[in-house]
Each structure stands twice: as C-alpha cells, then as structure tokens.
C-alpha cells in the first residue's frame, strides 16, 4: 500500500517534473531543508535539463 511518506515524495517528484519552483514544493510538502527536498526528487527528469546537451549545443553554435 501507500504511506504518507511515499505520497509526499511522489508529489515532490511530480512537481519537479512539471517545473515547479523548489521553494513552492518545499512549502507544500513541508520539507524544511532543501537538501532533504532535493533528495526526494526522483531522477525522472535527469535527461530533461541535460547540461551536457546544452553545452554541446552552445559549442556547435559557436563553432
């Protein structure tokens, strides 16, 4: 089944996926420390905001 903890972590993850502000997520989920809140964001968006891809794109534009 589900616990309050898994629902809260799921809300943090889903909010992060749609680009919600971290401060808003923390306020809604009542996480007090940013490190804790960020620890619950699942890596589902690992490749959405890929800094390597952006760096290569910038390099291609410059060269």
Q: Which long-range contacts (CB under 8 A, 24 or more apart) does 51-60 make?
A: none
pLDDT digits (tens, 9 = 90+) for 2-60: 677 778 888 888 887 788 888 888 888 888 888 888 777 665 555 566 778 778 887 77
Tokens of 23: 């401060």
Q: So what's the pLDDT on residue 29?
A: 86
CA–CA separation, 43 and 54 (whole Å): 18
Estimate to the nearest angstrom the gap between the alpha carbon of 23 and the chain centroid: 12
Query: What interhelical angle do 4-17 and 22-29 show, nearest 10?
Result: 160
Q: What is the pTM of this model?
A: 0.54
Q: So what's the pLDDT on residue 24?
A: 87
């Amino acid at each position: 089944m589900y616990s309050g903890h898994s629902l809260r972590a799921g809300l943090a993850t889903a909010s992060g996926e749609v680009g919600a502000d971290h401060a808003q997520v923390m306020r809604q989920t009542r996480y007090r420390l940013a490190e804790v809140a960020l620890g619950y964001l699942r890596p589902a968006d690992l490749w959405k905001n890929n800094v390597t891809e952006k760096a290569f794109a910038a390099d291609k534009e410059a060269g």
